[in-house]
Structure 1
Amino acid sequence: MLGCRDASNGYSEYICMHCGQDRRKIPFSCKSCFCLSCAKQYVDNFVGQVSTMLHPGVIYRHIVLTLPEQLRPVFFKERFNKDLLSQFIK
């Protein structure tokens, strides 16, 4: 991740087929879901897949919840309990 899109770690070079003068170096990416620039592609693909299942005309919000460290074991044990998560959201 630290060397993502750094040309010193490798790159592809493209040359114009017409004039042969224009050269472009495209550095390799890490393709990790933990890398902020590479993860955007994963997110965009996920959103594209989910958007095909959503109802038209309904406004959806994406939220990310962060739990205090003391509550994490409880929610981990009950991670498949939809009632607990529903009550927590309410």
Structure 2
Amino acid sequence: METITKGRFTLKQIFMDNWERFASSNRSQITFSAAYNVWKVMNCREPGGLGYATYACPEHPDQVTHVPRTCKSRFCSVCAKIQVDKWVADMNRLFPNCPYFHITFTVPSQ
């Protein structure tokens, strides 16, 4: 077993390092949906995996930008964060734009 003491771990990196070994020993227990979501996470933002969009200015054809595609999976730590942030922003629009308190009253059953 390899021990790593420094660096930042991501779900994607953990899968990249261990998925093949795990999948080969547990193949009968892995559903298609689970394997597909792991594949999407491992290929998220990888130009060779999910591809990329190319943007170029017609007036400056030498200025080209490549933007890698995302998997948009709730399972992905990067894409799920984007979805959560969008949900929080949507919920914040429902609340009044003023100071308020949330109070809960419990009424006895008697």
Give the alignment's TM-score, normalised by structure 2.
Answer: 0.48
Q: Which moved more, 1:30-39 or 1:45-54?
A: 45-54
Residue of structure 2 in register with 1:57 after alignment = 99
Q: 1:44 aligns with which of 82, 85, 95?
A: 85
The runs of 4+ residues in structure 1 deviating greater than 3 Å are none
Q: Which has the higher helix share?
A: 2
User: How far did residue 53 of structure 1 move?
Assistant: 2.5
Aligned length, in residue pairs: 61
After TM superposition, list the pairs within 5 Å mapping 1:1-90 onto structure 2: 1-9=41-49, 10-55=51-96, 56-58=98-100
Secondary structure at the counterpart of residue 40 of structure 1: helix
- TM-aligned CA deviation for residue 6 of structure 1: 0.3
Show structure 2 runs of 5+ residues with no match.
Answer: 1-40
Q: Distance in 1 between matches of 2:101 and 2:48?
A: 44
Q: Which runs of 5+ in 1 are unaligned?
A: 61-82, 84-90
- Aligned residues: percent identity? 30
